[in-house]
């Protein structure tokens, strides 16, 4: 069953929760630029207020409420002052499948 993201309303095509994505991003940042880890954690805290039962992460089993694109947008926004790191993050997120093609819409990372 497909569920919609509680932030953008797009269909969640990647059933990995923001918590699991955040763990991966923090590990990646630890090797690139650990100074940004606290910024990424603050970005992830925003999503704790969104809750839904019935959709679960395939990795940890926790509730799934936010799509990867919205999570990646928040991370990108929190690190975009470092243009090289922000660009590398987009490549990393795409390689992990966090930003699968949207089913209903497109998220603009320029904003």
- pTM of the shown model: 0.83
**Confidence (pLDDT) at 110:** 47
How far is it, in rounded angstroms, from Cα 32 to Cα 27?
Answer: 9
**Confidence (pLDDT) at 76:** 94
How far is it, in rounded angstroms, from Cα 11 to Cα 82?
Answer: 30
> Tens place of pLDDT for every residue, the chain, 111 residues?
678 888 988 888 888 999 999 999 999 999 999 999 999 999 888 888 777 666 888 999 988 889 999 999 999 999 999 999 999 999 999 998 887 654 444 444 444
């Amino acid at each position: 069953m497909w569920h919609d993201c509680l932030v953008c309303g797009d269909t969640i095509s990647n059933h990995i929760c923001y918590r699991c994505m955040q763990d991966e991003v923090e590990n990646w940042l630890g090797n690139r630029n650990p100074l940004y880890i606290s910024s990424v954690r603050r970005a992830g805290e925003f999503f704790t207020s969104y809750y839904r039962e019935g959709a679960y992460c395939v990795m940890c089993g926790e509730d799934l409420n936010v799509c990867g694109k919205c999570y990646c947008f928040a991370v990108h926004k929190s690190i975009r002052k470092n243009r090289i790191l922000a660009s590398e993050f987009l490549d990393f997120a795409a390689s992990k499948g966090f930003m699968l093609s949207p089913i209903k819409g497109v998220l603009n990372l320029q904003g």
